[in-house]
Amino acid sequence: MSTGFNASANAVLDGVVASNPRVPGVVAMVTDRHRNIYEGAAGKRRLDQAAEMTTDSAFAIFSTTKAITGTAILQLVEQGKLDLDAPARTYAPDIGKLQVIEGFDAKGEPRLRPPKRDVTTRMLMTHTAGFGYDFFSHTYNRLAQEKGQPSVITSSKASLMTPLLFDPGDKWEYGTNLDWCGQIVEAITGKRLGEVFKTRIFEPLGMNDTSFDLTDAMRSKLAGVHARGSDGSLTPMDFELPANPEVHMGGHGLYATVGDYMRFIRMWLNDGAGDNGRVLKPETVRMAAQNHLGDRKVTALPGVIPSLSNDAEFFPGQSKSWALTFMINDEQAPTGRPAGALGWAGLANLFYWIDRANGFGGFWATQILPFGDPASFVGYLNFETAFYDSLKLRKAG
């Protein structure tokens, strides 16, 4: 595979930084069960600076944080300290204070009522608890605009104290569920989420460049976030998540290198085994990698705040389910990704997949807002397609 795929992958990366519209810079990698089999970088870390993008560049990884929080939850389930189907308020009492919003009255005040059932951690892990995001939910966006509901980017507890958009368990809606899972991990362990990650996940996996706190070493190689203008232009932003945040946001708060994330992907390919120790039991990984949504399906993400997200969907027209805690494509994807594979994304156009059946996974990292950026998203799909095309050739040969 190596020669043919390396050439086609390099061509994709070089193409996206040279095209119009272009991406500022990109890092992409593919791993098998043992090691990275492709590592590539192209473009600049920031368009207003000279530094080239390098494979050890650091990124704000946004929602690709979620699967790491989900892993910490699964560890507590293994230890008998957490029941996925018990009320989540058993562990994080504040979640029991939240009510369902049914709209707004004539004066513009929220109409609230108690939920018909308790939120469970399983609902949080599958995004069926009722939480949303203001950039994907008109209701949350109105609460932010008119009632001062804080953005999750503030990394504040107040940003999590939002009403539920529907009764827990009724449907799938993408939102702050994994931030609440982080609160549950902290409540059970008595430690900050970053400390739990470090000792229970990062050290066994050898992930030395992943943290909620941006170290000086990471800042020196940090890729800058860029805003895409309506004319296709790119403007560097001085974006950083709050230092020493009130809440370690399990839904989006980590900084990492792509190389570190590949170690996490390899753990999921290897039934929970990491380079320096076991993170999850094989039976836990197999259980978690199944569909936990039942007959409900993942739906498209509407871009409610245009500066943060376009309308976005993976593999439109195809059925998608949810694992603990990844999207599952129920059918073979147009890229060649097989049915039953795992994957997800981060707001600044970061994308990954985990193909446990074939033993491969990949990650594509850019730093562009809004989400669903055509240049980066299409580039990622082309990268993944190039990989599966090369795999097909290798199998045929």
Closest of 254, 339, 291 to residue 67, by C-alpha: 254
Contacts of 62 (CB under 8 A, 6+ apart): 252, 346, 347, 348, 350
Marked catalytic residue, from 38, 91, 174, 388? 174
Confirm if 180 and 92 have CB atoms less than 8 A apart: yes
Beta bridge partners of 353: 343, 362
Between the CA of residue 244 and those of 171, 177, 194, 234, what are the distances in Å?
Answer: 34, 21, 11, 29
Q: How far apart are CA 224 and CA 351, in angstroms?
A: 17
Give CA angle at 212 (46, 304), nearest 5°.
65
Let me know if 27 is exposed, middle or buried by CB neighbors in 10 A (0-12, 13-18, 19+).
Answer: buried
Confirm if 186 and 196 have CB atoms less than 8 A apart: yes
84: left (phi over 0), alpha (psi -120 to 50) or beta: alpha
Q: Which two tokens stand for residue 281?
A: 């039991």
3-state class (DSSP) for residue 390? helix
What is the CB neighbour count within 10 angstroms for residue 119? 25
Q: How far apart are CA 362 and CA 265, in angstroms?
A: 8
63 is catalytic: yes
Q: How far apart are CA 123 and CA 147, in angstroms?
A: 27
390 is catalytic: no
Q: How far apart are CA 138 and CA 304, in angstroms?
A: 6
Confirm if 268 and 181 have CB atoms less than 8 A apart: no
307 is catalytic: no
Marked catalytic residue, from 57, 66, 159, 211? 66
Marked catalytic residue, from 38, 44, 57, 63? 63
Q: Which residues are tagged catalytic? A: 63, 66, 174
